[in-house]
Structure 1
Amino acid sequence: MSETTTQFYVVKQGDNLTKIAAKHGLTLNQLLDWNPEITDPNMIRVGQRVRVSAPESSSGYEPFPGTHFFVPDTVSPIIEAMGYRLIEEHCSAYPGEPDYQWSDADKASYSKWQRKLGLSGSDADGIPGRKSWDKLHVPAVLVD
């Protein structure tokens, strides 16, 4: 059995989800299922990364979405799942429960996780990197 890697497409000027789906041999519904952070299929932006292959869920963990994912305008169930894992790891800076919106509390909590892993300085800035993300074991987000 061959191992697959989640692939992403970076949105360019003039793109829309229908064009992106067709270019990758997918349906619009597949793209929307694989990109739960896209709440309005008519609203994508240049530079946004769109998942164009099935999420790596064989491990049961959410694949690393890339550092660009962790910005204030990101709204995704992946953010909430990460937040609950950080709480489980005793790395919470949340005033309450985590939610779908990337926030300063997420960044502060992730920084605690990075420091728990022994990272410091710019390596503990609260922005997830692949190695620290993979060690956190964020459960794969299932979309109905």
Structure 2
Amino acid sequence: MAHPLSADALVSALQAEGVTVVEHAGWRTHNRAGHGAWGPVNGVIIHHTVTSGTTSSVEMCFNGYAALPGPLCHGVIAKDGTVHLVGNGRANHAGSGDGDVLRAVVAETALPAPNENDTDGNVHFYGFECVNLGDGKDPWPDVQLEAMVRTSAALCRAHGWSAHSVIGHKEWTNTKIDPRGFTMADFRTRVATRLGKTTTPNSGSGSGSGSTKPTYQPFPGADWFKKKPRSAIVTALGRRLVAVGCSAYTSGPGPQWTEADRLSYAKWQRKLGYTGTAADGWPGAKSWAALKIPYSS
């Protein structure tokens, strides 16, 4: 079960992934609260807008229209790769879809073809509308596709998900055709490749120039640790665990992930109040953020 990211955490995750972010006025409190639940979240849905032009597309997604009030997504990804945040919380983007698809996303397994619309997707998915006419002819600039990949990867990294947690709207319900112009299989391959790379943070919201090191190390994803990495990130993690009184080390810590690191992290999880499998020593996004590990690479 994953709790939705706060507005600050979402912006930080996107910027750490190298995404240029523009915050639409009022987006942090703009949602469909009172019209259904928001969370637990399980994945990301990619849409196309069936519009052209950044300003009009962003305004449409922020305001919605008479039959479907906004926000119509959490962010609009423009042709130039800029991500315009328009909503924080429940948004009218996914609609009803197939519960079997949701179960496959949660399990991170192959998706079944949707054939029922029995589940409220607005509860469980972040949604990003990507500016495109959706006619199969309107091009997808690589800078836009790359921003879509990085946005998806940012959320997967923050929640410890794999690329299997990213789906197209047409994969959620058989009533939709978006996105058109690329395959979601290829898109997920790009997301998976991105998740295997270290993050490249931007200098700040709305800025497309330069890069700076973040104060704290972005979460590298749950699967990263199970590959037994050797990295300066592991050393930095161990030093923080020692500093907060959660050491199970007999030597070190060092750059190689070991059982001592896992046992030490389990102590940290228990210190935060986690129990059972939630305190198994494998890092998760929320406990990682709470530990405030200094940026190392």
TM-score range for the pair, normalised by the shorter chain length: 0.5 to 0.7
> Where do 1:11-90 residues align within 5 Å?
49-51=196-198, 53-54=200-201, 57-58=213-214, 60-90=215-245
Structure 1: which amino acid aligns with 2:285? R
> Which residue among 121, 130, 139 is the counterpart of 2:294?
139
Q: Which has the higher strand share?
A: 2
Q: Counterpart of 2:213 in structure 1: which amino acid?
A: S
Work out the CA distance in 2 between the residues paired with 1:74 and 1:84.
Answer: 16
> Contact conserved, 1:91 with 1:112, CA < 8 A, in 2?
yes
User: How far does residue 96 in structure 1 lie from its aligned partner after superposition?
Assistant: 1.1
Structure 1 unpaired stretches of 5+: 9-22, 25-45
Structure with bigger RCO (C-alpha 8 Å, 6+ apart): 1
SS in 2 for 1:118: coil
- Distance in structure 1 (CA, Å) of the matches to 2:262 and 2:199: 27
Aligned to 2:278: 123
CA distance change for structure 1 residues 84 and 52 in 2, over 3 Å: closer, same or farther? closer
What is the CA-CA distance between 1:53 and the residue it aligns to? 2.6
State the Cα distance separating 1:72 from its structure 2 match. 4.7
Partner of 2:258: 103
Structure 2, unmatched stretches of 5+, are 1-10, 19-144, 147-191, 203-211
Distance 2:234 2:257 in 1: 6
Equivalent pairs counted in the alignment come to: 105
Larger Rg: 2
RMSD (Å) for aligned C-alpha atoms: 2.6
C-alpha separation in 1, matches of 2:264 and 2:228 = 18
Counterpart residue identity of residue 224, structure 2: F
Residue identity opposite 1:138 in structure 2: I
What is the alpha-carbon distance in structure 2 between the residues aligned to residue 106 and residue 120 of structure 1? Answer: 18
1:91 to 220, 228, 246: 246
Q: 1:53 to 1:72 in 2, by over 3 A?
A: closer
Structure 1 Cα separation of the partners of residues 230 and 16 of structure 2: 20
> Residue 6 of structure 2 corresponds to which residue in structure 1?
none
Q: What does the per-residue CA deviation read over 1:13-33, in whole Å, with 9 as the maximum and x for residues that have no partner?
A: xxxxxxxxxx96xxxxxxxxx
Q: Any idea what the Cα deviations from partners look like across 1:28-70, whole Å, max 9, x if unmatched?
A: xxxxxxxxxxxxxxxxxx8671135338833x11011110111
TM-score, normalization: structure 2? 0.32
